[in-house]
Every structure is written in C-alpha cells, then in structure tokens.
Chains A and B, each alone.
Chain A
Amino acid sequence: MQATLDWLDDPEVFRVNQLPAHSDHHFYQTTTELQAQHSSLVQSLNGTWQFKFAKTPADRPLAFYQPTFDASDFDTIQVPGHIELAGYGQIQYINTLYPWEGKLYRRPAYTLNADQLIADDFSEAPDNTVGSYLKDFTLPKAFENKRTIIQFQGVEEALYVWLNGHFVGYAEDSFTPSEFDLTPYLQAGQNRLAVRVYKRCTASFIEDQDMFRFSGIFRDVNLLALPAAHLDDLDLKPTVNDDFKGGQLAVTTKLSGAAVTNATLKLTIKDATGQVLATQTQPGAAKVTFDAFAFDQVALWSPQQPTLYQLTLGVYDADEHLLEVVPYQFGFRKVELRADKVIYVNNKRLVINGVNRHEWNAKTGRVITMADMQADIQTMLDNNINADRTCHYPDQLPWYTLCDQAGIYLMAENNLESHGSWQKLGAVEPSYNVPGDNPHWLAAVIDRARSNYEWFKNHPAIIFWSLGNESYAGEDIAQMQAFYKAHDDSRLVHYEGVVHTPALKDRISDVESRMYEKPDQIAAHLDDNPAKPFIDCEYMHDMGNSLGGMQSYNDLIDTYPMYQGGFIWDFIDQALFVHDAVTDQDVLRYGGDFDDRHSDNEFSGDGLLFADRTPKPAIQEVKYYYGLH
C-alpha cells in the first residue's frame, strides 16, 4: 500500500493500518522484570532523531523514507518534543478561532459545499508545516523472533510511518496512542524508521482546543515486542453488590500470536495487603472469558480511601514456560444516577471538587514528565481537589494510573473541540459546525470515543466519559454517547455543548453541564424541577488575580442535592519560558509575544498554578472551600 497525501484532506481517512485500541496494561517477560517494573519487551525510541523541517507539504523531502536516501542535510531534534519549541515553525496561541484566521479561508469538507471533499485544502496548504523524522535503530536481542509493534503515544497532528522504505501506516487523533505492526518490514541489524508529521489535516477542525498550537512527536515512542502469545486487551468489570459489601469481578481478555491456542492463562487476584483472594486458570484462545469472581467483602475505592486490588495474569506456553506476565491494579466502586436525579458514588452523594487540567510545562509545552504529573497529583491532594477533567483530550497514559492510586476522580474527555466551527465573536453560529450531523465526520469522532474507552476502561478513577468540549451538538455526538452506553454501564456520560441543542438532551449527557454559569442562574435552574443533576464543567475562571466569590458556588452544594460541584478553570497557566535579551532573564511569555497573529494573548493564564507550577495565592481559597465537602 502506498501513502497518499490527500488523506490530509479527507475526514473519513484517519487511521490506516493502525492496530485496534486496547487496554493500557503493561507486560513483562518475567516476574523479575515485573518486580523491577522494567520490561525487556519495551524499547524506548525517545532521544535524538534526524529531522528536516518544511514550511509546506510541497517543500518536504519527498523520498526521505527510502533506505538509500541521503539525509546528510538533516538537522537533529529531540523526541518527544514540539517542532515549534525546537525553533522550527512559529509558536501561536489562539482560543476559539481557527489558527489560520485572517490568513486562509477554510471550511470543513462536506459542509457548505454539500457532499464534497475539498481537494488540497491541507495537502497543498501554505500553512501546513511538515516535520520529516528519521530514526535508525538496532533491534534489541529480546525482540528477535517476536512480533514488533511501534507505539506513538502522541503525535500532532497527522502521522505517516515507513520502515526500511515500506509504508507502515497513518494516524490522526493527536492525543491518543497510535500503534503499527512493524514485523513484516523489520530486518536484522539496522533498521530505518521514517516518520512524517503534518501540522494540519481535516482533524484540525475538531482539534481546536484553547491552547498553544504545536506539532510534532510530543509523547513517548516505544518499540514493543510481543511474545508468541500476547495479551492484546484486558477488560475488567468490577461491580459492587447492592449491599455495598460484596463485589464481583468479570475478566475478559483478547490474545494474539502463534502460540495462543496452546497457551494457558493463570490469573491471581490479591487484595491491597497482598493476600491472595482468588486464582483461576483458563486455556488460551483469541478471546478468553474467566469465570466470574465473587467476593463477600470488598474494600471500596474512593478519594478518601483509594483501595486498589492487584490482578496478575501469566501467559504460559504448552511447556508451562512463562511468555509474559501482566499486572493490573483495579478498584471496586459504584457510580449511580438514581431516581432522585442525584449521582451517588458508593452510596454517597457525589460532590466534585474539581479542576480542569491541561498538560503543561513552561519549558517544554505539552511534553511533560512523570515528575510533572506526580507534582500535579500532590498539588491536588494538598488542596482537597478530588477530581480532574482531562481537558480537552486524553492525557498521557500514566496519568490515569496515578489518579487511581491517589484517589482523584476523572472525567475522561475525548480529543474533540470544534468551537471555531460554531462560535463566532461570542455568538452561536453553527452554519458549518463539525461534527454536527455530518455522516462524513461521524467515523472519526466515534473512533476517538472508542480509543478513549478502550485505552482507559479499566481505571476506577474514571467516573465520567466526556464526549469532548465546545463542539456544539448533533447526531454525531449523540452517536458517541451511544457508543459509551453500549460498552459501559459503570460510568456516566458528560457533555456540555448540548446546552445549545435542547432537542438532543435526551440522547446526550447524563448531567446538565454548563460552563461559567452564574450562581443565581444555577439556583433558578435547579428550582425549576430539572431533569438531570447539575455539574459546572468549567467555573471560577482563574485568570490572573481572580477566584473571588467561590462562596456562592459552595452555598449551592448545601442548598441543592442535585448540584454536584464543578471543575475550576483551570489547573495551570499556559505560558512559555523565553530568554529575554533586554533583562537577560528567563521570562514567561504568552500569546502574541511570538508575533503570532491572530492571538488571544494572555487568555491562557487561568491556572491555580503559575506556568512554572508555583501555586497562585488563590489556591488557599480553593483548599478551604474544597475541604468543606
């Protein structure tokens, strides 16, 4: 198969040869590796890559993926990293309008021009910068004779992959891992990986988040070696009995590899103290459903006591030789929307003391480290923050596990935001809204819903799936909700944008969600016998010196059981360190400071933390009010 550039222009092409999304479990070759939490089956490709920047698709080095290509004029770049922060391409911050505002006239395919693609809209665009990456690697010893997968955990925004001159695959969806099977093209010794990253494609219309606009390979890249029988997917469904004492666990797995049919699966479940509660052995198959486990007593997972159980699954070959071992921590908790139109978790009314959190580091942008994530968790715990909305995309993989362990509720949001397509100068104007009711945009957004679900379905911290942010609402978003309802009855679905299309309220969102609603308006709504519990998905806009009047929201919690709290906008200022030649200091810069126009300037400085992660003074107020419930 040959790659073609016109995929950039087609909203119906968003994954080519990409492996199906699956659970985010780790796998190890031996129990020793498991204990050390270092898998010889994973090889990082992070580090220095060869790189060539092109201002437009037409300027890209066309044959760079050929093994014979002479890359002597290539630069080098660090992976992961944003192309713009490496000095290529202009940094831009813009909120609702599309980043090409005032420079290029664009409308989404299949909207105003009826049933047509718009040829060359991105593939021959003057604003579509291109990064051509090369990485030579030697296959590790442990990988020999195993299937080999490449995993890109985040690439913005359109990704083409070649290995040794062969086209491997294509992906969009910047904030979701993309995996491809390299096995057919691998060779002994040196291998040449070629990756082309385009800054824009049709997905740009649905990835219009209020943030700095970057491109490039910005999350980890790994090679994964799959044993002869490999657990592709682990699906855990822990449930809590109606008496809130006992519980059940259903375990379903998907396996692949030549040795699956002769393999044996040995599953062990331990409690938080390490005591073995149950074991079970099943013969290998493409799909294995374990006999349900029942427990008379389970310790529930909650922010107050985030108890996690330990599942360990060993995959053995016909000779009882361990092929891989998979650990997973899971928890029991019950989320209910009851007849009184109040959400309960573990039989207690849910009160969300939440924040919206963008992934941010003032030096590296959305490239953040484990230390950054751990610091953010600690800040949340220190300030009585019990919930995070992953605005407005899935976060790095470890974040979900950290929230499980720390007891932070998650509203796990899809990578979807299209406010440039319906919100103009503050007014609602959806004449070319996508995804809307558009059948040509449906598959892309359903794929985002599926990926978000499949990767993170086993995390007890997630109590809501969120369909996206500020994308208006139509049939396509209703279908996203239908996807979650068909796959998951243990969580609720959230979406705010249906507030603009009340006719769809029966089909979109289990909660009435609003942003920046005034306290008296919320009270008026709740006095009017509403159909759904109420959540502020964004409130207390903490721009600059702000966060006054939180008491009025706190009072609603005490007055209205159906008022279930909210997520402060937001966790951390988005601003970038730049060396200022005038003062000879590293200083924080914001939109418009890079000659970027159109820009929304300092509007990204709304955090409880400054961009360098020091807390703003207002956080003591958050800690106080969030400590009351």
Chain B
Amino acid sequence: MAYTKQQLHVIFGDGTLGLGGQNFHYIFSYERGGLESLVVNDREWLYRAPMPTFWRATTDNDHGSGFSVKSAQWYAADHFTTCQQVSVAVDGQPLTELPIAPVNNHYSNHEFADEVALTFTLATNTIPSTPVTLTYTVTADGRIAINAHYTGNAALPDLPAFGVRFIMPTTATGFDYTGLSGETYPDRMAGGVTGTYHVDGLPVTPYLVPQECGMHMQTKQVTINRNTTQNNADQVAQPMALTFNQAKQPFAFSCLPYTADELESATHIEELPLPRRTVLGIFGAVRGVGGIDSWGTDVENRYHIPASDDIDLNFTIELPK
C-alpha cells in the first residue's frame, strides 16, 4: 500500500506485529521473541531475531585462567535463552493483553500510530536465571531505538560479554564505523585513535586458535554494507546499508561472519565454516583480554564484568535518508 500518512502502519497479526512505513517494514514475532524481519527498501536485514549475547569465544588467556570453565553457564545462556513474555505499547499506551486473536479482532488493516514499543522479557539459561529485556521502540520515521537491560544477580559468575547479536542473511561487503582504530578491548584501547574507519569484508583476526576477535570499543556509529540478499526474486547485487548509532553512551561492536560458538568450536582458522552470514554484535559490556600470563592469571579486576550489576545498553537503528 502507498504510505501517505507520516505514521506507522500497524498490522496486529495473530503471531506477529508488523510495522510499515514508506521504505521499511518490520515484523516482530511473539514466538521467536523479537524482531523477525527488518526490511528496508524491500530488502531483508535479518536472518534470525536478535538475541542477547553473553559469550565470547574463549581467548588463550580465558583458557589459561580457567575463566571459561568458571563462567560456562553463559555459554549455554548464549544459545538457549528463552522469551517469557512480550508486551506492546502503542503511542505510549501499554496494551493490557497481547494483541492476538481474539483480542485483535477489532482492528483493521488501517491502524496507524506515531510510536510502537515492544518489550521482550527473556530468561537466561543459568542457575539462577535472571531476566533480560529487549525493548524496541519504533517511530514513524522507521528509527528503532533498542534498549537491552540485564538484571544483575550476584549468584552468577562474571560475564564474558553482554550485548545484542544481529545475524544478517548474507555476508557484508564491509563496514564503516566511527570509533577507535584497530581491534580494541577495555584493557587494550589506549593505542586506539578516534576516527572514522572503513573495513573491507568481514575479516576474522587469524589467531592460531580461533577466538574472540574484532572488537571495537567506544563506537559512536557503525554502518553495515551489504549488496546481496537471499530473496529468490532479488538476485541483482546492489549496495544497501544499515546504520547503528549510539544513544547516550558509545557502544562496542564486532562484525564477523561467525558467532562466538562457531569460533569456539574451531582449532584452526581453516576449520571455520565458509562465511555466509554477517554476525553483528552490539555490546554494552566487554571483558578485558588480559595479558599478564596465559596460564592462570585472570584479567585485571577492573576489566571484569561482574554479574551482580545491572547493565543497560541503548542504541538505535537508523534508515538511510
């Protein structure tokens, strides 16, 4: 349909909530626990719903210090976190019930709003479990503001990382970011120079044993560039871009063709799967890499992520003008 109004078209589906605008269309899935589809200019940006991420592929120092053994619960949480509850608010008004049939029977195909917010409450697969909420607030211009909130729990081990992982259907041709040069971590960013940088492709830093890599601390903005889709009716390569902006605070990100789990499983770089997707992690907390030794000494205390403290991560997804 043609969008003449400067408002979001809201589709109150039975399993999903759709939000449309002039050059975008989003689908939030109640079953999948998040944003299932992010279409801009008729092209899809998501392969699976974004999920909170807690793991990083074990570094040699993590291995030597036994960190991954102590924090192994977060490995499971990274895979198996489940959605417990979804809530929807339209123009600031929370809906008392999830708008699926029969609750949504009174709507039409002509529902509009200035702002729709969905909050997905997830439970970590840890003992004890702790809630994580992912809130998406979509405005009529197509902008998505995302808040990821981790609820601190002192009974849990230190976190390897906390962020939101976006898996895109095809590999990126590269990315551009405003932040620090090179690969940086909280305890290794003094040498990073602030600037705007372009990275070709999705380089995986070729550590002898594949491990956590490619982190960029203190980032204001990152734009992912792709030119292919999986849509059988859209086979012509043409550039497309999606931008993630900081909200109040800078974020950290890595953009790789692999999940932490895939990196974790390989003993050599050539054992990694053929690159076929883009895995963008936007992080609100990153653990240091350490370096005193690789056989027992942990990362310095100030670069740990204590499980006891709440973590809030805020950023936005902006559409191309």
- Report the tally of A-B residue pairs with Cβ distances under 8 A: 126
- CB-based contact A518/B292 at 8 Å: yes
Q: Is the CB of B209 within 8 A of A620?
A: no
User: Could you tell me if A548 and B270 are in contact, using CB atoms closer than 8 angstroms?
Assistant: no
A543 in contact with B300 (CB, 8 Å) = no
Query: Which one of A546, A622, A623 has the greatest number of beta carbons of chain B within 10 Å?
Result: A546
CB within 8 Å of B: which A518-572 residues: 518-519, 539-552
- Chain B residues contacting A543 (CB-CB under 8 Å) are 60-61, 64, 294
Contact of A587 among B189, B268, B300 (CB under 8 A): B268
Identity of the chain A residue whose Cβ is nearest the Cβ of B56 in the assembled complex = A545
A516 to B293, CA, bound (A): 6
Complex Cα distance A541/B186, Å?
A: 17
A593 contact set on B, CB distance < 8 A: 268
Interface majority SS (helix, strand, loop, mixed), chain B: loop
Cβ–Cβ contact A580 & B300, under 8 A: no
Q: Does A589 contact B (CB under 8 A)?
A: yes
- Contact call A623/B303, Cβ cutoff below 8 A: no
- A580-B270, A625-B191 known; A544 and B59 CB under 8 Å? yes
- Chain B residues 234-271 with CB under 8 Å of chain A are 268-270
Of B38-46, B140-148, B163-171, B177-185, the stretch lying at the interface with chain A is: B177-185
Kindly state the separation between the CA atoms of A542 and B185 in the bound complex, as whole angstroms. 14
Residues of B within 8 A of A551 (CB): 187, 190
**Which chain B residues (175-206) contact chain A, with CB distance < 8 Å?**
181-183, 185-193, 205-206
Report if B218 contacts A (CB, 8 A). Answer: no
Which residues of A sit under 8 angstroms from B61, Cβ to Cβ? 541, 543-546, 548
Collect the chain A residues with CB atoms within 8 Å of residue B300's CB: 548-549, 552
CB of B212 within 8 A of CB of A545, answer yes
A236 beta carbon closer than 8 Å to chain B: no
- The answer to whether B224 has its CB under 8 Å from any CB of chain A is no
Most-contacted residue by chain A among B212, B270, B289, B292 (CB, 10 A): B292
Closest to A593 in B: B268
Measured in the bound complex, the distance between the Cα atoms of B291 and A366 in whole Å is 26
Q: Contacts A573-B208, A617-B182, A617-B205: A548 and B294 contacting too (C-beta < 8 A)?
A: no
Evaluate whether A585 and B270 lie within 8 angstroms (CB atoms) in the complex, with A549-B303, A590-B208, A620-B192 already known.
Answer: yes
- Asked if A437 is at the interface of the complex by the 8 Å CB criterion, the answer is no
CA distance in complex: A276, B240 (Å): 68
Given A587-B269, A588-B208, CB of A550 within 8 Å of CB of B190: yes
A582 at interface by CB-CB < 8 Å: yes
Q: Nearest Cβ distance between residue B234 and chain A, in whole angstroms?
A: 31
B residues in contact with A590, CB < 8 Å: 208
* A426 contacts across to B, CB distance below 8 A: 295
CA distance A408 to B291 in the complex (A): 24
Complex contacts, A603 vs chain B, CB 8 Å: 294
Task: Provide the B283-299 mask, 1 if CB < 8 A to any CB of A, else 0.
Answer: 00000111111110101
Q: Contacts of A589 on B, CB cut-off 8 Å? A: 268
A232 within 8 A of B: no
C-alpha gap A566/B208 in the complex (Å): 25
- Are B289 and A545 touching (Cβ within 8 A)? yes
Choice from B205, B206, B270, B288 contacting A583 with Cβ under 8 Å: B270
**B138 at interface (Cβ–Cβ under 8 A)?**
no
Assess whether A549 is in contact with B290, with CB atoms less than 8 Å apart: yes
- Is there an interface contact between A620 and B181, defined as CB atoms closer than 8 Å? yes
List of A residues within 8 angstroms of B295 by Cβ:
426
- B180 nearest CB neighbor, chain A only: A620
User: Across the interface, which residues of A come within 8 angstroms of B303, CB to CB?
Assistant: 548-549
Distance in angstroms from B313 CB to nearest chain A CB is 21
Q: Which of A548, A610, A623 contacts B289 (CB 8 A)?
A: A548
Q: Chain A: which residue is nearest B292 at the CB level?
A: A518
Residue contact A541 to B292, C-beta cutoff 8 Å: yes
A417 interface hit (Cβ, 8 Å): no
Does B213 have its Cβ within 8 Å of any Cβ on chain A? yes
Contact between chains at B213 and A545 (CB < 8 Å) = yes
- In Å, the complex CA distance between A624 and B211 comes to 24
- Asked whether, in the complex, the Cβ of B187 is within 8 Å of the Cβ of A548, the reply is yes
Given the known inter-chain contacts A550-B188, A580-B270, please indicate yes or no for A602 contacting B209, CB distance below 8 A: yes
Q: Does A376 contact B (CB under 8 A)?
A: no
Q: 8 Å CB contacts to B: which residues of A568-608? A: 573, 575, 580, 582-583, 585, 587-590, 593, 602-603, 605-606
Give min CB distance, A251 to chain B, whole Å. 45
Contacts of A582 in B (CB 8 A): 270
Complex interface: chain A residues within 8 A of B208 (CB): 544, 573, 575, 588, 590, 602, 605, 611
Is the Cβ of B191 less than 8 Å from the Cβ of A602? no
**A residues near B64, Cβ cutoff 8 Å:** 543
Shortest Cβ distance from residue B118 to the other chain A in the assembled complex, whole angstroms: 36
Contacts of A518 in B (CB 8 A): 292, 297
| Bound: A588/B206 CA distance, A | 10
User: Is B107 on the interface with A (CB-CB < 8 A)?
Assistant: no
Contact between B191 and A545, CB atoms less than 8 A apart: no
- Shortest A342–chain B CB gap in Å is 25
Residues of A81-140 at the interface with B, using a CB-CB cut-off of 8 Å, are none
Q: Quick one: which of A519, A552, A621 has the most chain B CB within 10 A?
A: A621
Interchain CA distance A530-B183 in the complex, whole Å: 38
CB-CB < 8 A to A540: which residues of B? 291-292
Minimum CB–CB distance for A518 against chain B, Å? 6
Against A, the Cβ 8 Å flags (1 = close, 0 = not) of B48-60 are: 0000000000011
- Which residues of chain A have C-beta atoms less than 8 A from B188's C-beta? 547-550, 618, 621
Q: Contacts of B288 on A, CB cut-off 8 Å?
A: 548-549
Contact residues, A431-483 vs B (CB, 8 A): none
Ordered by A's residue number, 7 sampled pairs between the chains whose C-beta atoms are within 8 Å are: A518-B292, A543-B64, A603-B294, A605-B207, A617-B205, A620-B193, A621-B190
User: A residues engaging B (CB < 8 A)?
Assistant: 426, 516, 518-519, 539-552, 573, 575, 580, 582-583, 585, 587-590, 593, 602-603, 605-606, 610-611, 616-618, 620-625
